[in-house]
Every structure is written in C-alpha cells, then in structure tokens.
Amino acid sequence: MNVDVTHLVHFADRMDRSISRLTMGIITAALIIGSSIVMTVKCGSSPVFGLPFFGLLGFGGAVLDGICLMASIWRSSHQGGR
C-alpha cells in the first residue's frame, strides 16, 4: 500500500498560514477596540497631545500589526500563492 500525503502537507501549510493571519486580525481588532475604550476614559496617566498614552500605544500597535498582516498577504500573493 502506498499513501501519498504531499497534498495533505500543502493543505496543512495553507491552514497554518490562514490561522496565523486570522489570529493577527483578531489581535489587531482587539487593540483597536481596547484603545478606543481607553481613549474615552479620563485617566491620570501623562497625556501625549492631550490623549491618553496607553490609548495611543494601543493604536500604534494596531497599526503595526495591520501593516505586518498586509505585508504578509502581499508577499504571499506575489510568491505564486505558496
């Protein structure tokens, strides 16, 4: 009996990449929502440009995550879908 599992390996690689992207998207969304909540709360932390520091830090993290996610998708589409 001969079993060819090369297609399963390719499928598992694609699923792993898809799950990683989905996770990055969920983390980015959570950072945006959490930072929005922090921005509405009057807090005692040192404000930057009149805005809470941790809110700006969260939005900055969301922007970086989004850029990394878009770069990953762009690289994948230009490598022939591998």
pLDDT digits (tens, 9 = 90+) for 28-51: 999 999 999 888 877 666 777 777
Tens of pLDDT along 4-14?
787 888 888 88
Tens of pLDDT along 20-30?
889 999 999 99
Structural domain boundaries in the chain: 16-78
Across the chain, which distance is largest between two alpha carbons, in Å? 70
Q: SS3 of 47, please?
A: strand
pTM of the model as a whole:
0.72
What number of residues does the chain have? Answer: 82
Q: Which residue reads 């970086």 in tokens? A: 64
